[in-house]
Structure 1
Amino acid sequence: MAKTTPATPKRKPRLLWANPFCLLDTSSGASMTVRQMLLQLVANGYDVKVLGATVFDNPKGMAILKEQFADLDSHLHQLIDAKDGPLTHQMLVSYSYNRNHFTTHEEGLWYSQYVYLLDSFKPDVVWFYGGQTVDMLIADEARDRGIPVAFYLANGNYKSPRWCRDIDLIVTDSQATADMYRKEVGFTSTPVGKFIASDRFVADEHERKRLLFVNPSWQKGASVFVQLAEKLERERPDIELEVVEARADWSAVLRETTKRMGQQRSTLSNVTVTGNTSDMRGPYSRARVLAAPSLWWESSGRVLAEAMLNGIPALITNRGGMPEMVGKAGITFDFPEQCYEEPYQHLLGEQELQPLFNAAVAFFDDEALYQKYVAQAFNVGEEKHHIDRATDRLLSALAPLVRERAGNKEFSASQKKRHRQRLPSRATKPEMKVDRTLQQLINGKIKGVLGSDTQATKLHLTEDFTWQLKGKIIVLDNRANLIKSGLADQMAVTGAFAIVAFDPASEIKTPKQYEGSDTIQLFQHALLGDGRPATLHACVAPEMTSTLAPLSADKLAERHHLGAQEIADLPINTVAVDSITGLESLDWLILDELSDAMAVLENGKQYLEQTLLVQARVPFQLTHEKQPSLAELQHWASRNGFRFYRFHNIRHHSHLPEKLNERSPCASEQESADVLFLPSYERMAKLSDKQKRKLAFIMSACFAAHDMAFELMAGISHDKALEFLEAHKLLPSATQTDGGDENRSSTRMDASRAAFLGHDDNLLALID
């Protein structure tokens, strides 16, 4: 009897979509199109994986993702899986939504996960878009393994041949774009059309009452539409207009354009503005005509395909694939060449605008003409833009690549062949390490601006000076402010600090990272006080949670009404400073404005006798009962060997609308500030050199108070004080001092010329 070999079960074709952009972005037409393409492939038997990042064209497009992940920052530099029907979008959480701010660290993490998926998922096809540096590696790594690569191209910006060196199939959305690239660059691409899901873009019923404009950006012809809308307001106020924002801000382009027209406007009475939405059925149900006066190369125009499927005629420019998208269901206009030049803000003359105005009015006044175009729009939508036809074209384009079944092959053979040293590679699952240095750097630069916190979020250190500290600088932080600002991690790296932080409201989202740390100890649901049990008043806003009772609403500014509402009263333990054992010293005490600061100070007198710095937060606008006042703190300081030094980290409130203040910060009301208390002059004179060096380091590194640090160092060593000034570039060069050539080889002052540092007025003459 003949033996039979069991048939190998037929598996699904495997496709990996890989690109840092998020396909859930509702502000990106390309993302929405590709997402729908992948959904269609899944419906037709494909096994699809998606690898992206939290990169968006505009934050307005983040709504779908934020429904599942409201707090992305808590997942920074980790992989998340966003569910999308039959698709799962695996994404690296990036620091910024902006692709230009995607860091090299993030690119490295994303790239490592990509090659891991190549070797573990073993796709038959890799598909992507994008022309930035890391995008080139997508095709490069796939080709190295013998995996065919497809590319989605839907704009006119890819004129260099490098990006397509390793691409097997280029899929585009229009014949016009395919023809343009074949003529101007020389490569062949396959047009498949747009992919529009009727359940989110085709309305069930149509009122047909408004002239619709989607995404009011300069490239999309916002300046032209503003002129048209203003003319319609004057001459045909009965015609309603609707603007749907995607990436662009209608109010901004309206103000800018009308200002150049001669009279700035902030609104037009005939225009209704709709925010960015993933469900366009509402706007299309109200639309009678679509205006799409794009001024750049428009590969196709997704809104045109959507309009055709809804039977909505279009007014378009003769750019790229737009005429192809609407066929006989639209009217095409040619504007002066200046309109098609960046920044796409050229104003039309009255005669140049009139044809567009006449066509728009005709679609409202001539019902017979309008119905003719409606019928043609439905016809174009059915023939050109029905998703089933587009899907057939896509499946046909991918079929030759999928047929190779590259995922069945052993990749090492291809890799050895291409590798100069004949070596294969095998990717392992990458370790996702969090890097917040960019965030800390940016936060550190946002200081000194009215209306923003001015607390330093970076240390002010220089490699040109060695502090020679002896022993750790011990810090008690009663609200974990150093951790929240990002300063604690930087302080830990120096090895100079030992930080004990209390987090009564559990605001720190990643407490486990400090477990076992030699430099940072974090205690959650605990705080400094008098050592007795207390009540924690948990509020709607965690930053308002306090052991002090919130004030009643009638005593609060309206902005605090919601956040200060109590949701629970919880027991909490307080720790008296003097009851803490094992501390070599207490060099720096940080107190917040939401705990009983006076109780902390009164129950820490033993340690505080030798403390070098007390930093206490003082509210100028009270939010809770028994908050510390500046007068109380100064009175305590004067009785316990401290003196007022300065205010720090002054927080302001703006009375402007939030969006306006974001664009043009202006905040004049001071809400709170840190008060810094240093040892009194009597105590300062008695500090040991070790204590002076510690305090000088704190003041210089953490507060950029280099003048105070200099005075302290001058009391230790004249040479070290000079070295400190030179390291921080606070001394003039020798050439500036003497002007002689012999001094240009060195900017160093010797100690004999500075023997009076900190003790003689001649120092000023020397420095001057």
Structure 2
Amino acid sequence: MPRLLLLLPQLPHDPASGAARSLRTACEFLADAGWSVRALATTATEAAGGDGRTLLAQQGIVSEEHAPNRAIYRHDRPVLTFTDRHGIHTALLDTGRLAVSAWPERHGSQFNRLYARELADFRPDIVFAFGGQPGDVERYRRASAAGVKVVFGLRNHGYYEARWLAELDAVLTCSEFVSARYRERLGLESVALPPPLAARDVIAAEREPIFFVAVNPSVEKGAFFLARLAEEVALRRPDLPMLFIESRGSAGALVRAGLAGGFDLRRHESLMFTPATATPAEIFRGARVLLAPSVWEEPFGRVAAEALVNSVPPIVSDRGGLPEAANGGGFVVPLPADLTLETRTPVGPAAVAPWVEFIEKLADDDAFYAAASSRARAAGESYRPQNLAPRYVEFFERVLASPA
């Protein structure tokens, strides 16, 4: 039975990290295919509040707490353990409310001791990981020195100077877009597979398509576009409810974006906000259409894939990997060329006009919406676990069989 260790610097169940959830779900695919899988990570999270324990509880995960032996290591923290329904045993170093980037300075030595124990006792064939801090890289090298193959889950633009990636046995990206970028910038060869989606977390059992939904209205995700879009839709069609899911981008940030353009979004009753949910399924239960006007170059655009498998048509920008993620099942609408990450005032009404037109048609034309929903569902078939899981298993089997 092949053995794989998932090694992450943050909570594998972090609802604010698509990367963490992607790697965790890939491990579930492997466990279901007969692999022996364990995970070593921390409770650090990118979610607002930074409380990993609370996030676990919200997802119904009950863990056992192991108190530290402070007679030997006086600054050690508790370790939480649990085994999930896939048989994956997970050990989490409780890093309190420290950020993902902050815990290594205080608790890195304890994490390294836990890691050394996993390498010695579990003896994995593969370590599957992400993270580019010095401690992360040293752990990859320690695995390689022990004869363990290392697969890096590359999910963002943060590694264009990371020449150490070439030392690893394989690099797995989330899109052809990302693979092409790293080939151009770093000469790095990699394999692209769409991020895996866990059906229980992503697919809503029942749907009532009501809301035009935008997730995480941050600057990167198009806050200064969304502010104008919300204003125009609310003025033209106050009967159409728009729902904004907070994450790093908050209701306050979107309101401030509107105020920078001279309008106050708080006066519109049709605009609603809700905190981040534990699972995407909760978002798409009431979603009619997804709005994703990302300004930055999304490595993939996981939320678009999540919309598709729920038969929710996504309207996405033409930047980064979003068109690839939409997979022909949504509407790809260009953003103004002068809308950048440095933009700090809302775009003009003309810039959002094509989006407003699609929103109104998807709201008013039942036949058009039904066709769009069917097209979304068909495009989402390739993301469904029964179709994607075999591709992940095949990839890791190839890594396992490759020469050392």
**TM-score, structure 1 as length reference:** 0.49
Counterpart of 1:142 in structure 2 is: 143
Q: Is the 8 A contact 2:260 2:345 kept in 1?
A: no
Distance 1:167 1:373 in 2: 42
1:375 aligns with 2:374: yes
The 3 A distance-change label for structure 1 pair 96 and 279 is closer
Counterpart of 1:361 in structure 2 is: 360
Corresponding residue SS for 2:167: coil
Distance 1:108 1:163 in 2: 22
Q: Give 1:58 shift.
A: 1.7
Q: Is the 8 A contact 2:313 2:330 kept in 1?
A: yes
Corresponding residue SS for 2:116: helix
Distance 2:65 2:120 in 1: 28
Counterpart of 2:27 in structure 1 is: 38
Counterpart of 1:339 in structure 2 is: 339
Distance 1:180 1:238 in 2: 42
Q: Is the 8 A contact 1:229 1:241 kept in 2?
A: yes
Superposed counterparts of 1:249-648, under 5 Å: 249-250=250-251, 252-266=252-266, 268-342=268-342, 345-382=344-381, 384-403=382-401
Corresponding residue SS for 1:200: helix
Counterpart of 1:173 in structure 2 is: 174
Q: Which amino acid aligns with 1:13?
A: P
Q: Is the 8 A contact 1:328 1:373 kept in 2?
A: no
Q: Which amino acid aligns with 2:307?
A: A
Correspondence for 2:56 among 57, 65, 68:
65
Counterpart of 2:159 in structure 1 is: 158
The 3 A distance-change label for structure 1 pair 362 and 345 is farther
Q: Kindly provide the CA deviation profile for residues 731-762 of structure 1, in whole angstroms up to 9, marking residues without a partner as x.
A: xxxxxxxxxxxxxxxxxxxxxxxxxxxxxxxx
Q: Is the 8 A contact 1:131 1:163 kept in 2?
A: no
Q: Is the 8 A contact 1:151 1:169 kept in 2?
A: yes
Counterpart of 1:53 in structure 2 is: 42
Q: Give 1:198 shift.
A: 2.0
Counterpart of 1:740 in structure 2 is: none
Q: Give 1:289 shift.
A: 0.7
The 3 A distance-change label for structure 1 pair 204 and 24 is closer
Q: Is the 8 A contact 1:143 1:166 kept in 2?
A: no
The 3 A distance-change label for structure 1 pair 230 and 302 is same
Counterpart of 1:200 in structure 2 is: 201
Q: Give 1:209 shift.
A: 1.8
Greater alpha carbon shift after TM alignment, 59-68 vs 319-328: 59-68
Q: Which amino acid aligns with 1:365?
A: D
Q: Kindly provide the CA deviation profile for residues 655-691 of structure 1, in whole angstroms up to 9, marking residues without a partner as x.
A: xxxxxxxxxxxxxxxxxxxxxxxxxxxxxxxxxxxxx
Q: Is the 8 A contact 1:254 1:266 kept in 2?
A: no
Structure 1 unaligned regions, length at least 5: 1-11, 407-768
Corresponding residue SS for 2:300: coil
Q: Is the 8 A contact 2:179 2:192 kept in 1?
A: yes
**TM-score, structure 2 as length reference:** 0.90
Corresponding residue SS for 2:101: helix
Counterpart of 1:26 in structure 2 is: 15
Q: Is the 8 A contact 1:338 1:346 kept in 2?
A: no
1:241 aligns with 2:232: no
Distance 2:91 2:192 in 1: 28
Greater relative contact order, per chain length (Cα 8 Å cut-off, separation 6+): 2
Q: Which amino acid aligns with 1:131?
A: G
Distance 1:395 1:69 in 2: 28
- State the structure with more CA Rg: 1
Distance 1:282 1:126 in 2: 32
Q: Is the 8 A contact 2:36 2:88 kept in 1?
A: no
Distance 2:117 2:6 in 1: 14
Q: Is the 8 A contact 1:13 1:405 kept in 2?
A: no
Q: Which amino acid aligns with 1:205?
A: E
Q: Is the 8 A contact 1:124 1:405 kept in 2?
A: no
Corresponding residue SS for 1:328: coil
Q: Give 1:79 shift.
A: 2.0
The number of residues matched between the two structures is 392
Corresponding residue SS for 1:184: helix
